[in-house]
A and B are shown apart, each in its own frame.
Chain A
Amino acid sequence: MTAAVARPIAADRVAARGHARRGVGVGYVLLGVVLVATLFPFAWTILDSLNTNKGIFDGQLVPDALHWENYPRAWQTGRLQSYFGNSVVVAVASVALTLAVCCPAGYAFGRLRFPGSRLLFYAYLLGLTVPFQAVLIPIFYMLKSMGLIDSLLGIVLTQVGTGVPFGAFLMRNFFRGLPNELADAARIDGCNELSLFWRVMLPLVRPAALALLIFSFMGSWNDYLLPLIALQTDARRTLPVGLVNFSTQYVTDYSLVFAATVITFLPVIVVYLLFQRQFVEGISVGATKG
């Protein structure tokens, strides 16, 4: 009797396991397909950057010989060096200033009580959802009247100003999560508000600061719309705008365009691969807490 009952159940289990294995198989196929689809555009761009225009035009997927000379040619022909330098200056300044203003702001919202804090907080929340298009037009004319058109400073200040809500909100959520006892103990030990922030609280929110650093770096480095309208001479352009310009200017010199493209994305990819854990953690932290 018991055996008779047990057998169908066992058969069920075997069937279920077979079913499960099929599911796993489908999963592996999906991983494989997406992996190829993810890497193919990179691989193809790199291979073509080492090919000749004739080879590319004849439809070779793999070049006959590796033409490394395309790289110095791209670096010298275009203003890649200048674009690259401008992008680095803007990103570094933008990230540094964002951290410098958002950490104290997040601390004030998260840990200090003061009149008008709610109202001010809602004012910051507004900026969290409004898209850049909402400020685009006045920003252009404002930068113009301030003499900040065609200036990297104008780009930096705008990036920081529009990024303040996200940064302040992210830091606030982290500061709020710190235990009160810590602040009380430090105050009893005679710690004043400034050193409490700087010496005690700030070191505890390092993961949040790192997340903010990564987010603001990516935002600044990849920014296209603002530099497109605000930077007008070629010598001032940043990499994303510069590359697009380059690719339309040398539209028929394929190998040159591909080499320039690789020069543009390679540094970010190297930085990402070196710090991939911080990147992924920063994204999850920033997205779920910000």
Chain B
Amino acid sequence: MTPSLAARPAPFARGLGRAAVPLLFLLPSFVLYLVFALIPIEETARLGFYRWDGYSPQMPFVGLANYVAMVEDWKFWNALWHNVEWTAMTLVLAVGVALALAAVLARLRRGRTFFRVTFFLPNVVALSVVAVIWGQLYNPLIGPINLILRRVGLPGLAHLWLGEPATVLPAINVANSWQSYGFYMVILLAGLQSIDATIYEAAIVDGAGEWQLFRHITLPSLRNVMNLVLILAFINALRGFAMVWVMTQGGPVVASDLLATYIYRAAFVENQLGPAAATSVTLSVLVVATTALFNRLREEEAS
């Protein structure tokens, strides 16, 4: 071997060298992702076909029995329906309010930063902490909501907000929307930055009213971010856990149970790990399907 040849790496080594850089860059993230996400996802799917209490060394295969049990459990449908109601309330209270605020702020000449900063404030507070704060706001003994209703002469409207099946889910959702509307508003505002203020001025000169400005200028320019906001709102609604668990643990009885709290209870309170895993798989499929649907809609709209 001549020295000149040895100095140049063989083709194989060069190929290895070229692959070594991406490998080096990806390996740390991939190992963590594999161990703490990919393998657990596979394990959840597998566990859905077995019966296990978390302790016993026996883990019999039961086929689809866990899924059958899930479908036959009225509490599952109860939780799923609450997820639908929860999503609808979030769309009105968080996304709807965020959209209205973004539209108003887009037309505001001064003070936009002040409002944006203030409206985002609740979003930096952890959901579990928000749950503690709002649990006290709804407190029947010291809570200001009932206190104010009584003081302004409307004692009939005072409720045991978190104790009555009819009011518990809306009450928790108000707290959740209070925390999250600022997040959606900031994304919507980012979408509005592309609008030139002179477009509004020109439209006003042409005699357009505020509703027409909103309908024909603000809304169309929000189409792309609106899709994103809806995806996030749907996914967050399906994932919702901390708020309900801290405030009511899904109660009274199961009046505020969501799929996430239903799964938690099955897995860590009742030790029914098979059914809990089957429901986790169902929830995950719902989330992935929702995301795929929205992405499809966006692509169709774009084409």
Which residues of A come within 8 Å of B, CB atoms? 12-13, 16-17, 19-20, 22-24, 26-28, 30-31, 34-35, 37-39, 41-42, 44-45, 48, 56-57, 59, 61, 100-102, 104-105, 107-109, 112, 114-115, 117, 120, 123-124, 126-127, 129-142, 157-158, 160-162, 164-165, 167-168, 193-194, 197, 218, 221-222, 224-225, 228-229, 239-241, 243-244, 247, 254, 257-258, 261, 264-265, 268-269, 271-273, 276, 279-280, 283-284, 287-288
Contacts and interface: CB of A to CB of B under 8 A. Distances in A.
A13 B44 CA distance: 64
25 contacts: A16-B208, A16-B209, A20-B204, A20-B213, A23-B213, A34-B97, A44-B137, A101-B32, A105-B30, A114-B23, A126-B41, A133-B241, A137-B47, A137-B276, A142-B43, A161-B33, A161-B36, A224-B241, A243-B129, A265-B129, A268-B124, A276-B117, A280-B116, A280-B186, A288-B191
Contact of B190 (A22, A135, A241, A284): A284
A26 B127 CA distance: 31
B176 interface: no
Given A105-B26, A138-B47, A218 B124 contact: yes
B232 A31 contact: no
A284 B121 contact: no
Nearest to A22: B210
The 9 closest A-B pairs by CB, nearest first: A23-B210, A161-B36, A284-B190, A222-B126, A138-B43, A135-B40, A27-B104, A104-B25, A138-B40
- Residue among B30, B105, B239, B263 having the largest count of chain A Cβ atoms under 10 Å: B30
Contacts of B245: 224, 228
Given A35-B115, A137-B280, A138-B44, A244 B132 contact: yes
Contacts, number: 282
A114 B22 contact: yes
Interface residues of B, number: 98
Contacts of B119: 34-35, 38
A26 B134 CA distance: 28
Nearest to B48: A137
Contacts of A61: 144, 147
Nearest to A258: B136
Given A133-B239, A135-B40, A284-B187, A261 B25 contact: no
A284 B235 CA distance: 18
B128 A222 contact: yes
Given A131-B287, A224-B126, A244 B246 contact: yes
A26 B30 CA distance: 52
Interface string B129-160: 10111111100011010010000000000000
Contacts of B197: none
B235 to A, nearest CB: 7
B142 A254 contact: yes
Contacts of A107: 25
B242 interface: yes
B162 interface: no
Nearest to B114: A35
Q: Could you tell me the dominant secondary structure of chain B's interface residues?
A: helix
B36 A45 contact: no
B142 A133 contact: no
A24 B210 contact: yes
Given A104-B26, A129-B287, A276-B117, A31 B104 contact: yes
Nearest to A192: B21
A125 B95 CA distance: 26
Given A131-B287, A142-B40, A284-B186, A23 B209 contact: yes
Contacts of A27: 103-104, 107-108, 210
Interface string B92-108: 00000100110111011
A158 B36 contact: yes
A224 B25 contact: no
Nearest to A123: B38
A41 B178 contact: yes
B255 interface: no
B284 A131 contact: yes
B118 to A, nearest CB: 6
Contacts of B103: 27
A127 B35 CA distance: 12
Contact of B33 (A19, A38, A124, A244): A124
Contacts of B171: none
B53 to A, nearest CB: 12
Nearest to A252: B141
B228 A288 contact: yes
Given A41-B178, A137-B267, A137-B273, A269 B124 contact: yes
B33 A164 contact: yes
B26 A288 contact: no
